[in-house]
Amino acid sequence: MIPTLFIVVPCYNEQEVLTETTRVLLDKLARMEKDGLCSENSRIVYVDDGSRDDTWPLITRLQEDHPAVRGLKLSRNRGHQNALLAGLMTVKEECDCAVSMDADLQDDVEVLSEFVRKFREGCDVVYGVRNSRETDTAFKRSTAQGFYKVMHLLGAEVVYNHADYRLMSRRALQALSEYKEVNLFLRGIVPLIGFRSDYVYYDRHERFAGESKYPLKKMIAFAMEGITSFSVKPLKLISRLGILISILSIFGLLYALISYCTGHAVAGWTAIVSSIWLLGGLQMLCLGVAGTYIGKIYSEVKARPRFIIEEYRREEEPKEEEKS
């Protein structure tokens, strides 16, 4: 069976890169088709995540010029993870497998062949894993690695050095659609799906144009999302911290009593004030952690839609695909 491959690309203000990305991806698809790795029905699907620049008009133009390009427009900016999900859920009935990748060609497109080979060997999920992080700034590298370590410590199963460059089969996508959570962290959800999976290693290049849409603030928010969506360990940690502090305060009390009885009544204003500050701070921290989880429950309970599609542009008169 020659699979129909869809490449889903979320785009937020990517007008500088999309023309080149389309050229590279179309070229790669043509070569893969020649090698019998993907069928002629394979497509590139750009998901415009509420861009404020000319990304959507550009996607429209690309879609008109190339029959293999489709465009999906979200009603507003919903963030990378939701845009990706919107794309994957829209195409899941039409493709045999879908690869998600960023618009900026940082992920090596040559490994697409390797992805498909693994898929044909029977893998339902293939993770793209970065060989090294040499092209990142030292800051991004260390924060990202710290993030994986923390996730691991907290017991969430995430693939080390894997971003959202991955292939999923149709049935894996079907399974993904069963996960209804609003607080979306795909890297944590996909490993939960199961099925046979494998890894493909690649080198990540630098973004060739435009700038990163993940500034530090978004990166921290994303890491917090991952941690609080996949681990309740922080809640356990604060309980333990509470117990520890209670035990310590018993000793403190004993010490105070003994000093009082032995007549060394402490002038100890500093100690009192500093412990008030310390405990106040800790309490606020603990409240904050608990509050974060409650906030998540709140948004899950409301179950608002994760994305709203404004427009879906695709080639006219789609060929009836042979379902095999």
Other beta carbons less than 10 A from residue 249's beta carbon: 12
Q: Looking at 2, 11, 68, 111, which residue binds ligand UDP (CB under 6 A)?
A: 11
> Binding of ligand UDP at residue 124 (CB under 6 A)?
no
Residue 212 engages ligand UDP in binding (rule: CB under 6 A): yes
Q: Which token pair is 245?
A: 């502090």
Contact call for residue 225 and ligand UDP (CB under 6 A):
no
Q: Which strand (E) or helix (H) includes residue 100?
A: strand 97-100
DSSP state, 206? -
Q: Single out the residue of 14, 49, 102, 124 in contact with Mg ion (rule: CB under 5 A).
A: 102
Q: How far apart are CA 2 and CA 322, in angstroms?
A: 11
Q: What angle, 0 to 180 degrees and rounded to 10, lies between the N-to-C axes of helices 216-230 and 186-193?
A: 30
DSSP state string for 256-275: HHHHHHTT-----HHHHHHH
Which structure tokens are listed for 121? 């060997």
Q: Which residues from 238-297 bind ligand UDP, rule CB under 6 A?
A: none
CA dihedral 145, 165, 199, 106 (to 10 degrees): -70
103 in contact with ligand UDP (CB under 6 A): yes
Residue among 189 and 256 whose Cβ is closer to ligand UDP: 189
Residue 70, contacted partner among ligand UDP, Mg ion, none, CB below 5-8 A by kind: none
Instruction: Tell me the number of residues near ligand UDP by CB under 6 A.
Output: 17
Among 3, 10, 71, 188, binds ligand UDP (CB under 6 A): 10
Contact between 184 and ligand UDP per CB under 6 A: no
Supply the minimum distance, in Å, between the C-beta of residue 324 and Mg ion: 35
Cα(97)–Cα(123) distance, integer angstroms: 10
For residue 302, give the amino acid letter.
Answer: K
Nearest to ligand UDP of 259, 299 (CB atom) = 299
- Cα–Cα distance between 275 and 273 in angstroms, integer? 5
Any contact of residue 214 with ligand UDP (CB under 6 A)? yes
Q: Taking CB within 5 to 8 Å according to partner kind, which of ligand UDP, Mg ion, none is near residue 73?
A: none
Candidates 16, 44, 62, 79; binder of ligand UDP (CB under 6 A) is: 79
Min separation Cβ 212 and Mg ion, Å: 6
Q: Is the dihedral of CA 117, 119, 122, 126 positive or negative?
A: positive
Residue 14 near Mg ion by CB under 5 A: no
Q: Determine, following the binding rule CB under 6 A, whether residue 213 of this chain makes contact with ligand UDP.
A: yes
Taking CB under 6 A as the criterion, the residue among 16, 104, 114, 124 binding ligand UDP is 104
Question: Out of 80, 130, 166, 313, which residue is the one contacting ligand UDP (CB under 6 A)?
Answer: 80
Q: Which two tokens stand for residue 309?
A: 């599609």
Query: Among 5, 7, 14, 148, which residue sits at the site for ligand UDP (rule: CB under 6 A)?
Result: 14
Please report how many Cα atoms fall inside a 13 Å half-sphere around the Cα of residue 147, on the Cβ side: 25
Contact 114, 37 (CB under 8 A): no
Q: State whether residue 210 is helix, strand or coil.
A: coil
Please give the residue ranges that form the binding site for Mg ion (CB under 5 A).
102, 104, 106, 207
Please give the residue ranges that form the binding site for ligand UDP (CB under 6 A).
10-12, 14, 49, 77, 79-80, 83, 102-104, 106, 207, 212-214
